[in-house]
């Protein structure tokens, strides 16, 4: 039985999975954050944050404790010097690589499982933020279940 909250376990598992990726390199390791990320927060280097958004107790069996379902969001942010393909395309590729890294992921002990992951909108980067703040901001949503 785990000694941490299911939401913390889910955040830590997803952040560890992102950090274990070999198809990309991160300036700073992905962090699990209990607090919501402010997309307008000034960042100078590439940041990847995994944040918890909601939790729901599932009632699937007659057991005393059932799985919990968590909505997580992975934020990918970086200040860009110019809005050019040379700067934006590698970041868009990174977002897709992180999505592939976490989609359908299951921990080795089968306690944490990503049921669904994807981009919330068709835009891989928020164009309004890109043009007004020169900030690349993208997010991946994940539906994760944690066993008790």
- Averaged over 29-50, what is the pLDDT? 86
Measured CA distances, 16 to 22, 83, 143, 144 (Å): 12, 31, 17, 14
Higher pLDDT: 19 or 82? It is 19
- pLDDT confidence of 126, banded at 50, 70, 90? confident
Please tell me the pTM assigned to this model: 0.89
Tell me: pLDDT of 2 over 80.
no
How far apart are the C-alpha atoms of 38 and 100, rounded to whole Å? 24
Residue 62, pLDDT > 60, answer no
- Residues with Cβ within 8 Å of residue 11, at least 6 apart in sequence: 32, 33, 34, 50, 51, 52, 72
Tokens (6 digits) for 148: 């008790």
Q: What is the pLDDT of residue 123?
A: 65
């Amino acid at each position: 039985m785990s000694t941490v909250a299911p939401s913390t376990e889910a955040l830590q598992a997803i952040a560890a999975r992102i950090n274990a990726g070999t198809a990309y390199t991160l300036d700073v390791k992905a962090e699990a954050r209990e607090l919501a990320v402010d997309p307008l927060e000034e960042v100078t280097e590439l940041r990847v944050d995994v944040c918890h958004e909601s939790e729901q107790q599932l009632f699937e069996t007659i057991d005393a404790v059932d799985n919990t379902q968590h909505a997580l969001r992975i934020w990918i942010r970086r200040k860009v010097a110019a809005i050019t393909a040379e700067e934006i395309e590698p970041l868009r590729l990174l977002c897709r690589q992180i999505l592939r890294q976490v989609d359908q992921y299951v921990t080795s002990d089968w306690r944490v499982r990503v049921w669904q992951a994807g981009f919330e909108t068709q835009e891989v980067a928020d164009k309004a933020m890109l043009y007004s703040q020169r900030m690349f901001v993208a997010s991946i949503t994940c539906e994760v279940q944690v066993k008790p």
